[in-house]
Structure 1
Amino acid sequence: MSDVSGASVRDAGARLARSYAVHGSTVVELSGDVDLATAEEIRSALDEATAPSGAQLVVIDLRHTTFFDCTGLALLVRAEERMASRAGRLRLVCAHAITLRLMEIADLTGLLRPVPTLEQALERAA
């Protein structure tokens, strides 16, 4: 949705992050724009999922995102570091060519190891 100027306006009822459990893992599904304007809400959801008392595997699903910038990369790296600090694992689902290219340019594909489907992320973790 956009306002008269063409700037993006988020529906007040829209959620940027939805978390749910799958086979003992936590999946955090992000949607919409992941940028400076949405970072705080997304950071909160990722912090909750990567808390020390959380699941040993957290999968971040980017399939429903419409925009992703360097702020999003910083959030992903932070989530990975939080999981590594407690010997947990983070998996990333992403098939968007532009987002994957951004990760590649930032030299983060080795750290984040994105896969295109949720099934692959869960299989890879098994």
Structure 2
Amino acid sequence: MSVAIAPPRVRAFTTCACIVAELRGEIDIRTVPAFTAALDTIRVEAPSRLVLDLRQVTFIDCTGLGMLCRTRRRALERGVKTSLLVTDPRILRTLHATRLTRAFDVHGRLSEVPLTVPVAAA
């Protein structure tokens, strides 16, 4: 018996100085290529902030965590800070256990994300 899995979905929109990418579904070894391809189409330049909204993600594995780190690294190369929106306690535990809460600003609501990005002193 095979189980049909809904394809991953990413919806991006702009609000204030943030680009928000809403991810839905499971982020695992099977879906990471599709999520990565979708995230790569989002063009973010400084001084914006990229917000990855994981509130509708039902599962994330190590390949999904790697995808988050890759997305963060690519954003940082453009001077863009990346934040995560997470409410699922299991995903929060995973982020804490892997210490990714040190790499990302993690929030529960979009209204908690800082709208301005600090400018480095010259």
Fold match (TM-score > 0.5): yes
Q: TM-score, normalised by structure 2?
A: 0.83
1:26-80 deviation digits (Å, cap 9, x = unpaired): 110000111111101110122222x465872111000011111111111111111
2:87 partner SS: coil
Contact 1:57-1:88 at 8 Å conserved across structures: yes
The alignment of Structure 1 onto Structure 2 pairs a total of residues equal to 116
Q: Say whether residues 1:68 and 2:63 are aligned partners.
A: no
SS at structure 2 position matched to 1:62: strand
The one-letter code of the counterpart of 2:115 is A
More helix by share: 1
Structure 1: how far apart are the matches of 2:5 and 2:16? 32
Cα RMSD over matched residues?
A: 2.0
- Match of 1:21, SS state, is strand
Matching of residues 37-116 of structure 1 within 5 Å: 37-49=30-42, 51=43, 56-116=48-108
CA distance in 1, matches of 2:53, 2:41: 15
Between the aligned partners of 1:101 and 1:15, the Cα distance in structure 2 is 22
CA contact 1:57–1:90 (8 Å) conserved in 2:
yes
Which protein has the bigger strand share? 2
> For structure 2, which runs of at least 5 residues remain unmatched after alignment?
117-122
Q: Where do residues 26-45 of structure 1 align in structure 2 (5 Å cutoff)?
A: 26-45=19-38
**Mind listing any 5+ residue stretches in structure 1 that lack a counterpart?**
none
Query: Counterparts of 2:14 and 2:48 in 1: how far apart (Å)?
Result: 12
Q: Percent identity?
A: 28
TM-score between both structures, scaled by the size of structure 1 = 0.81
